[in-house]
Amino acid sequence: MTTDISAPRQTELSGMMRHWEKSTTKFAEAFEQYIGRGPEMVPLTDAELREIIDACNTAVAPFGKSVSDERWISYMDVVRWSQSARHIKDMEAFKAVCILNCVTFVWDDMDPALHDFDAFFPELRKICEKYYSEEDARFALEGARAFITSDHMFRGSPIKEVLCTTSPEQYFRFRVTDVGVDFWMNMSYPIYRNAEFTEHAKTGLAARMTTRGLAIVNDFYSYDREVSLGQITNCFRLCDVSDQSDFERFFEDRLDDIIEDLRCIAAFDDITRDVLFDLVYGNFVWTTSNKRYKAAVNNVNSRIQ
């Protein structure tokens, strides 16, 4: 496991890039201190990788858009880093999470004018029914429905503007659904076949315990891309990133939020603790190493139009 603390190369650092190395070091130190053991990337055979990519292409075919293997793999690697490799019991369910994660990434990256619920939702249902038991498919499908509906209906809405620009507390309430953490839990619990984690996932507690750790990291590294797209779903819009003291104050408060959550997660049962820790830490490893976050716009993060 490696964490790249060097900022992407630019002739002159601007936006969030000016804070990249120092903040990345602070994130890494916090995860090392409060989590310790780093995540492991889940291995996939060439055949499994091909199965997942082919299923993804089938699911998004109704949109009439071509998605490269490179982009699918970029999306997929967050699952491979963030699912707790040491506790996986069901690889079929793991493949389902890879597929659902990837195709909803496409939905998120897509111009909302192209969104077609009637065409897309049946494809999500097919994925869930193929890879999960009947009950687990129901939870995964509902999580997917809530996420894509939220993503579509809140784009440009006054509700979103109020929640994202009032305070960190309001912002993170919104992000439980908008960043897809509740969806992640509903599609992920079957992987582990663990009764306690299953209940924490179904009640929504697991999502709420990890939202800040996931969203703050995501927001930091996607800030420049989201600003370039005019998006307001980024907690760092609540501070002035061009003002060093204002940014540092805000960043330290958000880092304290993550540390508070990690201290609480440490008190959960052993499996739930490990799964939630690997999710938060794995997301950080993926984000700091993935091409998606290396430039404001590139071929794996550009708007699909």
Check which CATH number belongs to the domain holding 80 and give it: 1.10.600.10
Residue 297 lies in a domain: no
Residue 241 lies in a domain: yes
Is residue 42 within 8 A of residue 94, CB to CB? The reply is: yes
pLDDT surpassing 50 at residue 35: yes
Q: What number of other Cβ atoms are within 10 A of residue 181's Cβ?
A: 25
Residue 304 lies in a domain: no
pLDDT surpassing 70 at residue 149: yes
Three-state SS for 155-189 is CCCHHHHHHHHHCHHHHHHHHHHHCCHHHHHHHHH
Give pLDDT tens digits for 100-142.
999 999 999 998 888 999 999 999 999 999 999 999 999 999 9
**Which pLDDT belongs to residue 11?**
45
Mean pLDDT (the chain) is 94
Residue 11 lies in a domain: no
Q: Is the pTM of this model over 0.75?
A: yes
Residue 8 lies in a domain: no
pLDDT surpassing 80 at residue 298: yes
Is residue 182 within 8 A of residue 146, CB to CB? The reply is: yes
**Which pLDDT belongs to residue 6?**
64
Number of domains in the chain: 1
Q: How many separate helices (H) and strands (E) can be counted in the chain?
A: 13, 0
Q: Round to whole Å and give the CA distance between 272 and 202.
A: 13
Give pLDDT tens digits for 225-262.
999 989 999 999 999 999 999 999 999 999 999 999 99
**Under DSSP, is residue 304 helix (H, G, I), strand (E, B) or coil?**
strand
Residue 269 lies in a domain: yes
The amino acid present at 24, given as its one-letter code, is T
Band of pLDDT at residue 1, cut at 50, 70 and 90? low
Residue range(s) defining the domain that contains residue 255: 18-35+43-290
Residue 299 lies in a domain: no
Concatenating the DSSP letter of every residue in 45-113 gives -HHHHHHHHHHHHHHHGGGT----HHHHHHHHHHHHHHS-GGG---HHHHHHHHHHHHHHHHHHHB-GG
Residue 215 lies in a domain: yes
